[in-house]
Amino acid sequence: MTMPYYVAPEQVMKDRAEYAQKGIARGRALVGTTYDQGVLIVAENPSSTLHKISEIYDRVAFAGVGRYNEFDQLRVAGVRHADTKGYAYSREDVDARSLANVYAQYLGQVFTHEMKPLEVEILVAELDPVGAAHQLFHIAYDGTVSDEQRFTVLGGEADAIAHRMAARFRQGWPLGEAVVACVASLSGPTRTLRADDLEVAVLEHGAWRRTFRRVTDGEVAQLLAHGEPVEIAAAKSSGAEGESPAGSVDQSGDDTGDVPAGTA
């Protein structure tokens, strides 16, 4: 009698994790952070039609990296969940924490029981309507949820980008400085990202009920040109030539990295 082929559960989980991590790493990264007026999300995304950052509800935003078709299905499911909950109860009952838990349960279920895990990492962000206690929930491919306080990085070379972002982060910084820091962290020392290489959106305090707003390429270009921290602007005005101050973005190069079809 032929014995069935046996694979240890630990090895199965390890193989699934490696498979998902490789797929996510092929996608372009994004950074989510807080600033003085709300939450900022900056993604490397040259497409003007396939969005990695979207609105879920009045104060809740969604962002994803990895396989586009997979995280877009999660976005649609999140919109339906939020709409149903807001209609059944009240709009104030729709929050990022409960939505992150729903995503975590689903991703964990797929990772544990399905042959192929989802090659995605997602961010669920919520704007605090009365203060600065904004929420950033990073949900990994296996359903692990991280509640981030300052910023979070998804996809690509996440560790290196997070290290660069940690060196630049400043609590309560203005939008221009935050955009410059996020773009500099995403581009790194060897690449340049222009405004049309990026997708930028904010959840910001304002007079309207809906707080999500996409930042146009023109506004991003202006922020990159004029949103340097004070110490960097002072260094530029001092006339130092041939130096690139930390946090500044060189506008002369281009991103030539190849990304497999289906990843974003």
Spans of the chain below 70 pLDDT: 1-4, 207, 227-261
* The residue to which tokens 């690139």 are assigned: 244
Q: Which residues of 137-158 are buried (b: 16+ CB within 10 A; e: fewer)?
A: bbbbbbbebeebeebbbbbbeb
Q: Determine the pLDDT at residue 3.
A: 58
The tens digit of pLDDT for each residue in 178-224 reads: 999 999 999 988 888 999 999 999 999 886 888 999 999 999 999 99
The tens digit of pLDDT for each residue in 150-165 reads: 999 998 889 999 999 9
Nearest 5°: the CA angle 210, 201, 155 is: 130
Note whether 154 and 63 are within 8 A (CB): yes
Three-class SS of residue 31?
Answer: strand
The helix (run of H) or strand (run of E) holding residue 219 is helix 217-226
Confidence (pTM) = 0.83
Q: Determine the pLDDT at residue 208.
A: 80
Domains assigned to the chain: 9-237 (3.60.20.10)
